[in-house]
Structure 1
Amino acid sequence: MSSRGSHLFGAFLALAAGTVFSFGSITIRESPHLDAVQYLMWRSFGLLPLVVGVALLQGKSPLRQMISGGWLGLGGALCMTVMADLFIFAMKTTTIANALLFSSAAPLIGAILARLILKERILVATWCGIAVGIAGLLIMTWGELGSGNAIGNLAAFGVGFAYGLYSIIARLGRDRDMSGVVMGWAVLTIITCGAFMALRGITIATPMLENTYAMIHGAVFIGGGMYLLNAAARHVGAGQLTLLAQTEMILGPVWVYLFFGEVPRLTTVLGGAVLLVGVLVAALGRSFAREEEPEVAARASV
Structure 2
Amino acid sequence: QATSVANAMLLFATAPFMAAVLGWIVLREPVRPATWVAITVAIAGIAIMVADKSGGVALKGSLAALGSAFGFAVFTVALRWGKSGEMLPSVFLSGLFGIIVTSGICLFLELSLVLSVRDGGIAMGMGVFQVGAGLILYTLGSRSLPAAELALLSLAEVLLGPLWVWLFIGETATLNTLTGGAVLLAAIAGNALSGKRRRPPPITSP
TM-score w.r.t. length of structure 2: 0.90
Alpha-carbon deviation of 1:280?
0.8
**Residue 277, structure 1, aligned to residue 181, structure 2:** no
Q: Distance in 1 between matches of 2:61 and 2:75?
A: 21
1:156 paired residue number: 65
Structure 1 residues 147 and 231, CA gap change in structure 2 (3 angstroms): same
Aligned with residue 209 of structure 1, among 118, 128, 148: 118
Q: Distance in 1 between matches of 2:202 and 2:189?
A: 22
Residue segments in structure 2 that go unaligned for 5+ positions in a row: none
Q: Distance in 1 between matches of 2:105 and 2:46?
A: 32
The Cα offsets for residues 200-252 of structure 1, whole Å up to 9 and x where unpaired, read as 34234443233212211111221111111111111010000000111111112
Q: Distance in 1 between matches of 2:83 and 2:49?
A: 33
Aligned pairs for 1:251-290 (under 5 A) are 251-287=160-196, 289=197
Alpha-carbon deviation of 1:174?
0.4
The one-letter amino acid paired with 1:277 is: A
TM-score w.r.t. length of structure 1: 0.63
Give the conservation status (yes or no) of the 8 Å contact 2:38–2:190. yes
**Residue 182, structure 1, aligned to residue 91, structure 2:** yes
Structure 1 residues 128 and 165, CA gap change in structure 2 (3 angstroms): same
Q: Distance in 2 between matches of 1:245 and 1:212?
A: 26
Give the conservation status (yes or no) of the 8 Å contact 1:171–1:234. yes
Q: Distance in 2 between matches of 1:257 and 1:201?
A: 34
Residue segments in structure 1 that go unaligned for 5+ positions in a row: 1-91
Alpha-carbon deviation of 1:173?
0.5
The Cα offsets for residues 24-71 of structure 1, whole Å up to 9 and x where unpaired, read as xxxxxxxxxxxxxxxxxxxxxxxxxxxxxxxxxxxxxxxxxxxxxxxx
Alpha-carbon deviation of 1:147?
6.8
Give the conservation status (yes or no) of the 8 Å contact 1:98–1:145. no
**Residue 112, structure 1, aligned to residue 21, structure 2:** yes
Alpha-carbon deviation of 1:276?
0.7
1:300 paired residue number: 204
Give the conservation status (yes or no) of the 8 Å contact 1:167–1:242. yes
Q: Distance in 1 between matches of 2:68 and 2:104?
A: 21
Q: Distance in 2 between matches of 1:155 and 1:257?
A: 26
Give the conservation status (yes or no) of the 8 Å contact 2:49–2:177. yes
Structure 1 residues 263 and 193, CA gap change in structure 2 (3 angstroms): same
The one-letter amino acid paired with 2:20 is: A
Instruction: Say how many residue pairs are matched.
Output: 206
Aligned with residue 129 of structure 1, among 38, 45, 54: 38
Q: Distance in 1 between matches of 2:62 and 2:106?
A: 23
Aligned pairs for 1:12-161 (under 5 A) are 92-144=1-53, 148-161=57-70
The one-letter amino acid paired with 2:79 is: A
Q: Distance in 2 between matches of 1:121 and 1:276?
A: 23
Richer in helix (by share): 1
Q: Distance in 1 between matches of 2:169 and 2:4?
A: 23
Considering only aligned residues, what root-mean-square deviation do their CA atoms show, in Å? 2.1
Q: Distance in 1 between matches of 2:61 and 2:130?
A: 26
**Residue 231, structure 1, aligned to residue 140, structure 2:** yes
Q: Distance in 2 between matches of 1:115 and 1:194?
A: 34
